[in-house]
Every structure is written in C-alpha cells, then in structure tokens.
Amino acid sequence: MSRPGWRDRIEAARAQREASSRVRVRRTVTLRDGARCLVDGRSLLNFCGNDYLGLSQHFAVVGALQDAASREGAGGVGSHLVCGHHQLHDALEREVADWLGTPRALLFGSGYLANLAVVQALLGDEDVCVQDRLNHASLIDAARLAGCRLRRYPHADAEGAIRQLRSMPEGAAMLATDGVFSMDGDIAPLRELALVARVQKALLYVDDAHGIGVVGPDGRGSVAASKLGANDVPLQLATLGKALGGYGAVVAGDADLIQHLSETARSYIYTTALPPAQAAASLAAVKLARAEHWRRTKLDELIGRFRERAQRAGLELMDSQTAIQPVICGDDDTALAMAAGLEQAGYWVAAIRPPTVPEGRARLRVTLSALHGVADVDGLVEAMAKSRERIRLGLVETARREAVLAR
C-alpha cells in the first residue's frame, strides 16, 4: 500500500495557492471604534464587515450582554434539549417570529449550523435539493450532509429551477436560495421561485442572512420585500451576526416544521446552546432594528451615494441595491493590488477571489454601514479611483510590495 503523505499533500496545495495568488491571510483586529479598526497596528476605516446597521457596539446591545452575563454567566451550559434552553433564548425566538410574521422560530449557534439543520432534518437519500448556483457554501454543504441529490440552476434563473425540479419527479423536494447574495449583493427572484415551488410541490427555503434588518418593510428581509409570507416561504433564516451585530441565527416559519427541526436536527440537538447573554444582546438588537428606521434610511442614502460616485469614477459595479457593493477587478492580482492601495490610503476593503467567486470575476467587496458617513464614502471612492489608476500605469507590483511593508 502506498498512501500519499499528508505533509506532501498540504505543501503541494499551498504551493498551488501561492502560484495563483490565492493564499488567505488572517488579519488581527486589536480595537474597534465605530467604523474604524486598529488592524495589525494600522487604523483603518472598515468597509468589509457586515455590521450593516451599526448595532454591534450599540450601548443598549452591549449593556444587555453585560447585564445578562453578570446574572447567567458566560456559557450555554448544555444543549437546548438537555438543560441549556433559557428564558432569554425563548424570548429571542418569540421576538424574531413576531417581527417576521411567522408562527415560530428556533435559535441556532450560527447560520452555518442552521442551514445544516434545515436540509439534513427534511431531506434524505431519495430526495432532491435544488439550489441557486451562487448560494452560500453552507447550503451546498448541507445538501451533501443530508445525502440527498443536489441540483443547481443558473443564478437567479427561476426557469432553470423548475427544469431541475422537473428532472427529479420522485421524492421530497426543497428549493433553497439565498435572499440577498453575499458576494453579488443582488436579491433572489423570490416571487417567481415561490410559484415554482408551489407548482412543483417543493418546500422553499430562503437563507436571508444579508437581508434581515436592512431589506424590506421594517427590515423584515427579502421575503417581506417580495410580499411573501410563511405560506409561500415555510422556512427562512435570519442571522444574528450581520445587521443585528451579534452571533447566532434563527430559523423562522411553519410551526410544525420548526417543531420537527427542534426534535431531529443534529446540529441543534448535539451542540451547546448559545450563551444566554448573547441571546439577550441579540434581543436588544432586534428591538432596535425594528424601532430605529433611520438606520435603514441612512444606509440606503449611503448606498445610493456610493453607486453614483463610483459610476461617475468609471468603476465597474454589479446590479446591487443592497449594502453589498462589489467592484469588479477581473484578475486576482488587480483585486489584491487595489485592496493594498486602499489600505495604504486608510481603507479596509477585502479582495474576494475564486473559488469564492467565479473565475475572472475577482472583486473588491465593499460593504456599507449606518456607521459610515458621507465623507467616508466619498473618500473611499476617490481612493479606489486612484488605486485603479496606479495599476493602469503598471504599478501593480509596487502596490503589493507597499502592502507587505505596511504590515
């Protein structure tokens, strides 16, 4: 028997990533102050986080966390079905269900766990999960874990979805899609997909991680923005770690389906409950998101301003009206060089490369927050235009060397 050595395998994989400019590097944040971060010793204006409403540092959210921790401690103690389910978990589930207009909701430790739970608990070997090609990785992994047949359709193509469902007429079927797509920032055609699901007797599941809090009436997400309800979308995911500024996720929807998840979903049953203090913080954040409409109004104004300024500067944008504003660079080196140039100018914007996005579509993923100001947005666009111009003048390698020295 001749097995490949693990060290040889990982070294070869590393060399391949280096050759294609796809090495991922962690950055260390030592201080957060509003939209600013101290990153590896440099003060940068953060345009790559997901704190869309600026709630992660809100005094009421932090205060709720501290107060609950002083009473309940730092941990979740046990799984929900053993001894870990706390009244604060229950209160958060009820608040989210009321906000989204669904009968019930169920709290999970993360959006990743929630997606694993939904697909694994509802589909088996003889079933099919039809998904948008640009769905989040957790939905893809969820279908693989469930052991069901995974079929993918072209991005935002409802006709493609129905073709895939028709090709698999036997067994139970789920149609799963992101609500707001995390790398493109566009919104799924949910009304068309709801019709497809109804005609094909498939369960429509919407992962609205990037829509909840910022899209639709009262921030109720892309499902509400599409004028759909629990009868049309029996299950939807609301993350707590993006617009709500905390951690964890909630699956909301049909009461019987939620009960089934609570009794059978492995990633719910076999893991420690979210700390009650974190649930208290998220409960405070949900109440703020429901009440403080000015945050969404300000965010919408910043989105419009960024798009207008960026288009005027000749930057290539995608068709997104959300807080996620991708700026297409094309090749990996250009994206990395532009990100390096922005960092030199004091802006933190992530360069997103394949396989996270398609080949030839490397980009800067700009994310906007209610914490940003007009001057911040204007300064970012100006810095992006200057960075792009430097690259056009053939200074890609110079920009990358400067970034290395700055670290």
Mean pLDDT of 373-392: 94
Does 16 or 131 have the greater pLDDT score? 131
Q: Is 182 annotated as catalytic?
A: yes
% the chain with pLDDT above 90: 86
The per-residue pLDDT for 370 is 98
Tell me 81's DSSP state. Answer: I
Contacts of 52 (CB under 8 A, 6+ apart): 213, 214, 242, 243, 299, 323, 367, 368, 369, 370
C-alpha to C-alpha distance for 81 and 261, rounded to whole angstroms: 12
pTM assigned to the model = 0.93
The per-residue pLDDT for 406 is 54
What number of other Cβ atoms are within 10 A of residue 72's Cβ? 18
Known binding residue 239? Answer is yes
Mean pLDDT of 297-305: 98
Known binding residue 260? Answer is no
Known binding residue 356? Answer is yes
The per-residue pLDDT for 405 is 56
Known binding residue 89? Answer is no
The per-residue pLDDT for 141 is 97
Active-site residue (options: 86, 89, 242, 372): 242
pLDDT tens-digit series, residues 95-126: 999 999 999 999 999 999 999 999 999 999 99
Q: Give the Cα-Cα-Cα angle 169, 253, 268 (nearest 5 degrees).
A: 90
Active-site residue (options: 80, 86, 210, 298): 210
The per-residue pLDDT for 394 is 74
Q: What strand order describes the sheet that includes 29-33?
A: 29-33, 36-39, 42-46, 347-348
C-alpha to C-alpha distance for 78 and 270, rounded to whole angstroms: 9
Assess whether pLDDT exceeds 80 at residue 395. Answer: no
Q: How confident is the model at residue 398 (pLDDT cuts 50, 70, 90)?
A: low
Whole-angstrom CA distances from 361 to 37, 50, 127, 183 are 28, 21, 33, 11
CATH 3.40.640.10 fits 59-291, yes or no: yes
Whether 74 contacts 228, CB under 8 Å: no
The per-residue pLDDT for 402 is 61
Active-site residue (options: 182, 226, 262, 369): 182
Fold assignment, 21-53+293-406? Aspartate Aminotransferase, domain 1 (3.90.1150)
Whether 326 contacts 184, CB under 8 Å: yes
Q: How confident is the model at residue 397 (pLDDT cuts 50, 70, 90)?
A: low
Known binding residue 388? Answer is no
Domain coordinates of the chain in residue numbers?
A: 21-53+293-406, 59-291
Q: Is 201 annotated as catalytic?
A: no
350: enclosing H helix or E strand: strand 350-352
Assess whether pLDDT exceeds 70 at residue 400. Answer: no
Assess whether pLDDT exceeds 80 at residue 311. Answer: yes
Known binding residue 167? Answer is no
C-alpha to C-alpha distance for 274 and 285, rounded to whole angstroms: 16
pLDDT tens-digit series, residues 120-175: 999 999 999 999 999 999 999 999 999 999 999 999 999 999 999 999 888 999 99
Known binding residue 222? Answer is no
C-alpha to C-alpha distance for 237 and 113, rounded to whole angstroms: 11
Q: Is 210 annotated as catalytic?
A: yes
Known binding residue 85? Answer is no
pLDDT tens-digit series, residues 252-296: 999 999 999 999 999 999 999 999 999 999 999 999 999 999 999
C-alpha to C-alpha distance for 189 and 319, rounded to whole angstroms: 13
Exposed e or buried b per residue across 115-131, where buried means at least 16 C-beta atoms within 10 angstroms of its C-beta: bbbbbbbbbeeebbbbb
